[in-house]
Structure 1
Amino acid sequence: MDNSEKKHPLIAVWNTYPGLRKENKNISNIPPIEQILGEMFAIGEFYYYVLNLTNSTISNHHPNLLKLHGLKKYPENLKDIIDLTHPDDIEFIIKAEQKVVQKMMEIGREHQLYLKASYCFRMKTAAGNYELFHHQAILTQEDENQNLIQSINIHTNINHITKENPHTVLISGIGLRQDFHQIKIDNPPAFENFSQVNLTKRETEILALIAKGYSGSEISKMLILSEHTVRSHRKNILAKTNSRNGKELLRKAFEWGLI
């Protein structure tokens, strides 16, 4: 079967979104990957690939994809990526994508290039076991009719941070958009309830920058705040999440679907 004809369970979900181009289209333009990575979290080993949404082919693979999954050649279709996913997580992924489509339709197609979707699932690694990965997707190209044709996906191995899947989809704004939507799917974690964490918009913004690895001084310059103010916000974030340090904060942020 030709790569453009390989079927996977997300096609039916995506076809419910009126903003997706249905007919096959070859894409030559490569999105500004380095710039896009600045909007993504990479707390650990990661890789990315460019996805052609019109036929599910993938290209421009980061070399870590081979290393992390123990592959000899780069996957050519999204189905090859999905085949690396733990079978028990497929149903969750389908539900997660359904929520992404629903929320994007609510927000409006005119904003679709300024939204990022993220959630977690387990993938098979080079060692032969399944570990938790954090999936992020940014839409990068649409045609003249606002039909989506391309995205860039990044997968980060976060198994060293947490093994608990929060079963939460996060839709967040990038660039000038300030969206922040947490959507619970099912199987809420028994250990703690993220809904009890009431971070302010500024605290959420700073948490995201902390997760991207920025220092306090860097965050103060980016947000035009004093370093003292940034330290105060970080202290409040630690207190609200009952975290002793940055490492514990990151673990809880992933487990609660805060990032």
Structure 2
Amino acid sequence: MKPEKELLESIWESSREHLSPESADIDLVQLDNQLSSIFTSGSSYFFIIGFDDMQLKHVSPSVRNVLGMDPEQMALQDILDRIHPEDFEFVTHAEKAAFDLIFARIPIEKRKNYKVSYCFRCKTADGSYQLFNHQAMILAADSAGRLIKSLCVHTSIEHLTAQNNHRISLIGMSEEPSFLNLDVFQVNQPKAISGPNFSEREIEIIRLMSRGMTSRDIAEVLCIAPNTVKNHRKNILNKSGCKNAGELITRCITDGLL
């Protein structure tokens, strides 16, 4: 094993106090609900990892097309082997930052309402490296709040940007506050929530915009007037400081907001 991979695994080992030795079955309805809160804008696959033995418990069939791997035979090491060597240091620090954010800032009862997001380059089925957005959220925890299983989704965003912002975000769902676009080396500093504070309606509209919908299309889906959508879009761009929808969507994905 390369030293970089040993360093990454040392982060998980040093965080053993946050990992539970217990195992747990996953409710498929719960899994569907969790997946519905994960945004994917391109080719993607997901997997469930169990922290009692650091093994993959389920891998989506789509990994065949994305990584060219057999989901039945795939192991965590296979994912590590495909991370770009130059991104290993960042991924290592991002994983440590994720533990620091969740266990230092988020109460036990609210941890399932958060997802971690950052980006890294990964080797795909055709042998090329593409920028992927990594999103992870807790599926099961024990009574002490230690992790049992997590859901991870990897989505290629190469069609949107090839530039990694080397930041991590902790996204609050169910109206929980978010910690956006944080430097992985400074997550322990008492910094206020960063990034534009979009309302739930604005986030709904951003999601629909990301699917290529026009203001009229969005108005029909949300049962509101087209002019209302246009006003929301104007406010969204003003809040974000973006010049157009393309720049907005790219920023929201790389910052982890979507």
TM-score, with length taken from structure 1: 0.78
- Among 191, 197, 202, the residue aligned to 1:200: 197
Q: Which residue matches 1:194?
A: none
What is the total number of aligned residue pairs between the two structures?
A: 237
Q: Which residue matches 1:34?
A: 32
Q: How does 1:47-58 map to 2 (within 5 A)?
A: 47-58=45-56
Aligned partners of 2:17 and 2:210: how far apart in 1? 33
Q: Which residue matches 2:111?
A: 112
Aligned partners of 1:141 and 1:8: how far apart in 2? 26
Does the alignment pair 1:124 with 2:126? no
C-alpha deviations, 1:201-226, integer Å up to 9, x for none? Answer: 328734653476486337746xxx76
CA distance 1:87–1:219, shift in 2 (3 Å): farther
Q: 2:136, 2:152 within 8 Å by CA — same for their partners in 1? A: yes
Aligned partners of 2:117 and 2:251: how far apart in 1? 16
CA distance 1:144–1:53, shift in 2 (3 Å): same
Q: 2:132, 2:157 within 8 Å by CA — same for their partners in 1? A: yes
Structure 1 unaligned blocks of 5 or more: 1-6, 187-196
Aligned partners of 2:56 and 2:6: how far apart in 1? 13
Shift of 1:85: 0.8
Q: Which residue matches 1:193?
A: none
Higher helix share: 2
C-alpha deviations, 1:169-212, integer Å up to 9, x for none? Answer: 010112242333331248xxxxxxxxxx9623328734653476
Shift of 1:133: 0.6
CA distance 1:205–1:161, shift in 2 (3 Å): same
Q: 2:181, 2:256 within 8 Å by CA — same for their partners in 1? A: yes
When the two chains are superposed, the root-mean-square deviation of aligned CA atoms in Å is: 2.9
CA distance 1:100–1:218, shift in 2 (3 Å): farther
Q: Sequence identity of aligned pairs in percent?
A: 28
C-alpha deviations, 1:138-165, integer Å up to 9, x for none? Answer: 1010123322100110011111111010
- Among 85, 91, 94, the residue aligned to 2:92: 94
Q: Which residue matches 2:242?
A: 242
C-alpha deviations, 1:85-111, integer Å up to 9, x for none? Answer: 111111101111111111112223332
Letter matched to residue 63 of structure 2: L
Letter matched to residue 52 of structure 2: T
CA distance 1:143–1:8, shift in 2 (3 Å): farther
Q: Secondary structure at the match of 1:252?
A: helix
Shift of 1:67: 1.4
CA distance 1:101–1:43, shift in 2 (3 Å): same
Q: Which residue matches 1:46?
A: 44
